[in-house]
Amino acid sequence: MLYFIYGEDFKKARAKAKDLLNILVTKKPNSNLFKLNGENFEEKIVEEGLGGMGLFENKYIIFLDKIFEKEEIKEFVLDKIKKIVESDNIFILLEEKVDKKTLTKIEKCAQKIQEFSGVIKKEKERAKPFSLTDALGRRDKKSAWAEYQKVLKEGLVPEEIHGILFWQIKTMLLANSSKSGVEADLNPFVFKKAKEFCKNYSENELKKMSSQLVSIYHDMRRGIVEDMSLEIEKFLLDI
């Protein structure tokens, strides 16, 4: 799988890539993480990522940081781009300026692309992920669906949203089985809020929802489902 993040507003592009990387590493704690740039790039690491076999038993994440600055590396990666997209492992490609020919080639196959333009625009009100998790906690199906659409439009990828929802359910389960934030190992404010939300669900319902989210993730990785965003939408409409 390939995530391609680029744009002249490189500060925002890098911040987005960093957030995505942190989320993926948190969700895949046993994965092997490689951060490659123009100075430490190794073709063999990319080759291993394409095959998913050999040296590494666990799936892994390869972060390619502005490697297109080196023409020979750029040619190597573009030549492998289709295999990168088809790989079971995760590649994150971060670039600043990308020529039209290169962009067109990547756009034809990359699953996730996000551009951060350098054009200054009037700030719009950003959808906040916590608005979505609050709606889930309140068991407000209509608001949850609306907030889900907002965060999608704001550029959050389904994998990020899935992680946010899973975190909320996990937090509620911890709060439900604990008497205090200290016991649950949660921030006092987070614990209090989650404890209130627990009134809207039974423990069995929360466990079932947690299992549903785990199934969505694994079914996506196995190719049983192709559109995680649709599966998340179904999940929210069924709360």
Q: Using only the alpha carbons of the chain, give its radius of gyration.
A: 20
% the chain with pLDDT above 70: 92
pTM here is 0.51
- For residue 122, pLDDT beyond 60: no
Domains belonging to the chain, first-starting first, are 2-115 (3.40.50.300), 129-237 (1.20.272.10)
- For residue 52, pLDDT beyond 60: no
Q: Would you state the structure tokens that stand for residue 197, as one six-digit string?
A: 């939300």
Tell which residue, 2, 1, 27, has the closest CA to residue 214: 27
Higher pLDDT, 93 or 152: 93
